[in-house]
Amino acid sequence: MAMNLAQKLIKSHLVSGSLEPGSPIEIKIDQTLAQDGTGTLVMLELEALGLSQIKTELSAQYVDHNLLQTDFKNADDHLFLQSACRKFGLWFSRPGNGVSHPVHMACFDIPGKTLLGADSHTCAAGSMGMLAIGAGGLQVAMAIAGVPFALKMPKVLGVKLEGELPPWVSAKDIILEMLRRQTVKGCVNKIVEYHGPGLANLTAMDRHVIANMGQEMGTTASVFPADEAVKAFLKQQHRESDYVEMKADEGASYDEEDTINLSDLEPLIACPSSPDKVVTVREVAGRPIYQSYIGSSANPGLRDFAIPARIVAGRRLADDVSFDINPTSRQLLEELSRSGDLTKLLEVGARLHQTGCGGCIGMGQAPATGRISLRTVPRNFPGRSGTADDQVYLCSPETATASALKGVITDPRDLDMDYPSFSEPEYLPDIRPLLQPPQEIPVAVELIKGPNIKPLPNFDKLPNILTGPLLLKAGDNVSTDEILPAGAEILPLRSNIPAISRYTFSRIDENFYQRAMKLNGDCFVVGGENYGQGSSREHAAVSSRFLGVRCIIAKSMARIHRRNLINFGVLPLLFENFDDYDRIEQDSILEIDKPIAQLKSNNSVKLLIKSSGETINLRSDLSADEIEVLEAGGMINQVREKYLSNEK
């Protein structure tokens, strides 16, 4: 049977299950990555599992999030991560090397391999013909320990690209067009596979931009063929020998199909505060801006900085605009310096930041109150920039730069200049020597733990009768940035669950923590559609569980957060009838009798509203393995017994 690329990648790694969409499967994981916002919990989980050495072909840990060292916490985390890499055998990328996704792409991406990453934008590696999936830290820890990754076989949406991008229109506009068509929940449990003649003019880094923000549509992964563009990228990175051609079979088909004619596209922009609120730049042109921000894993390529440099060269920024440049890797910064493009940016007054995620996750660079910020980052969920009621628009480097010159949102085609030319250099500075390899012969290493690094809490199993108040009723599209915010104040608490839990749901209900602590017992949370969209941070699930949340009931759920809830013993259930959402009031007492027994007997669970005596039918989409995890009280309990009882 002719297979598409996604099917080939899964089939070559299939440990159990079938390629039938929706069926439970397990796949072998070749590589893993984690960043410092998620990696400290991963290392604590590896310690809790009693692991001695990694079981993957390669695992890497990056430091690119918690880079503001305002006190000891982040510096301690960096030392902890470095010691854990030495202990368990991972590559370590120190602060300053850059953002995990472009650095992993430069150093380790190999066509045909699988990559599981404790960061939702891991999917960017699909640009290299890999099956690259974002997941919670515990899932990544299991993969490092040799446990296959469990998921539902996704549907495959084939997107045929035709034509070629007009001047001033770039890869970001392609993924913004996808978001306009699919919305933030249109691709949940789907892999998007790009194919067609339009690929010919897209470099590997262009594809990285598209694959990265595939996550914002809820995708499981995005895949591109490994072709001449990928071969050229590997050559650039002095790794041409790693090239393997990967593409769909002739005559392959897809579960769903779409077509984009690149020639028809124009500059697009996502308005606050959702990545799918996409309009043409011209529709919002003229609005005064405070900031234009270039960088992040969503536009990490050399051209994403060189084009802006060549646009502003010899010109003057608008007086009221902060033009923020966030280089995404040391390699890129070196090349920008060598080519003279860095000087062009500095000469017009750009603000140069250290290589890393920076303001994308609110780690500095927060915009002024009530002002507009244009960013080439992947997300603009409410408050994510660090400023409440922020107005963050997502756009291409071309649009952000044109607007920085004019001081208002500007379609770059309206600049009185020709589109600058750019071609990728044949080679880039080799960044791999800057990463610290695992030790050839593992030696006993003590983990370095500062006072802010706390042990993982132990969680008990679901009670036979689950009863408690509905402590929070939330709406649609609740993101993990609203469940547990990131940012300069909260991110440094990622190694300390009791401390970080104080911020749980703080963006939605600032009193949630106090109410949960006063209750000091089991409770429920209700959400609308696409609950838990966005990041991979399992902390959003762990902190909910730590505060007594035992069950989340929603109209629909985002893939990563749903599994993170299961991993820490929180029961995710769905409204069978969306109208029932309105029948439950906040603070009403709810009850589920023998939840595990009900789950094992069928795919529905009866919920009793104790105050009215009414019952509601809830739907479960849990697999047998997921029910087993919930029955064990979480995945650490389950795996410690099932896979690692002899690891000491």
Q: Is 487 in the site for ligand MIC (CB under 6 A)?
A: no
Determine the interface stretch with ligand MIC among 4-12, 221-229, 465-473, 535-543 (rule: CB under 6 A).
535-543
Residue 120 near ligand MIC by CB under 6 A:
yes
Number of chain positions touching ligand MIC (CB under 6 A)? 13
Residues 361-400 as x/- pattern, contact with ligand MIC by CB under 6 A: x---------------------------------------
The residue (of 62 and 233) whose beta carbon lies closer to ligand MIC is 62
Residue 613 zone, left/alpha/beta (φ > 0; ψ -120 to 50; rest): left
Those residues whose C-beta lies under 8 Å from the C-beta of residue 465, and which sit 6 or more positions away, are 591, 592, 593, 594
Does 119 interact with ligand MIC (rule: CB under 6 A)? yes
* Contact flag: residue 101 with ligand MIC (CB under 6 A): no
For residues 579 and 42, give the distance between their C-alpha atoms in angstroms, rounded to a whole number. 39
| Among the listed residues 43, 209, 321, 486, the single contact to ligand MIC using CB under 6 A | 486
Interface residue with ligand MIC among 203, 222, 236, 535 (CB under 6 A) is: 535
- Nearer to ligand MIC by Cβ, of 111 and 126: the residue is 126
Segment holding 573, helix H or strand E: strand 571-575
Cβ contacts of 440 within 8 Å, gap of 6 or more: none
- Cβ-based neighbours of 345, under 8 Å, separated by 6 or more: 305, 308, 309, 312, 323, 325, 336, 352
Torsion of CA 576, 577, 582, 585, to 10 degrees: -20
With tokens 């250290």, the residue in question is: 354
Q: Nearer to ligand MIC by C-beta: 344 or 539?
A: 539
Cα four-point dihedral sign 105, 111, 113, 115: positive
Using CB atoms within 10 Å of the CB of residue 641, give its burial: 0 to 12 exposed, 13 to 18 middle, 19+ buried: exposed
Q: Which stretch binds ligand MIC (CB under 6 A): 9-17, 117-125, 306-314, 457-465?
A: 117-125
Instruction: Point out which span in 191-199, 287-295, 532-540, 581-589 binds ligand MIC (CB under 6 A).
Output: 532-540
Q: Based on CB atoms, which residue is closest to ligand MIC, 134 or 327? A: 134
For the sheet with 14-16, list strands across it.
14-16, 24-27, 149-152
Binding ligand MIC by CB under 6 A: which of 172, 537, 545, 561?
537
Q: Hey, CA dihedral for 643, 131, 11, 632, is it positive or negative? A: positive
Site map 45..74 versus ligand MIC, x via CB under 6 A: --------------------x---------
Residue 536 interacts with ligand MIC (CB under 6 A)? yes
Q: Which is nearer to ligand MIC, 401 or 533 (CB)?
A: 533
Segment lying near ligand MIC (by CB under 6 A), choices 86-94, 277-285, 534-542, 615-623? 534-542
* Strand, coil or helix: 405: helix
Identify which range of 84-92, 114-122, 144-152, 316-324 contacts ligand MIC by CB under 6 A: 114-122
| Closer residue to ligand MIC, CB minimum distance, 159 or 213 | 213
User: Considering only residues 13, 78, 121, 449, which one is a binding residue for ligand MIC as defined by CB under 6 A?
Assistant: 121
Residue among 37, 129, 198, 301 that touches ligand MIC (CB under 6 A): 37
> Residue 394: which residues within 8 A CB-CB, separation 6 or more?
172, 176, 269, 270, 275, 298, 375, 376, 377, 378, 379, 380
DSSP 8-state symbol, 531: B
Does residue 81 bind ligand MIC (CB under 6 A)? no
Tell me the pairing of strands 391-394 and 278-280.
unpaired
Binding site for ligand MIC (CB under 6 A): 37-38, 65, 119-121, 134, 361, 486, 534-537
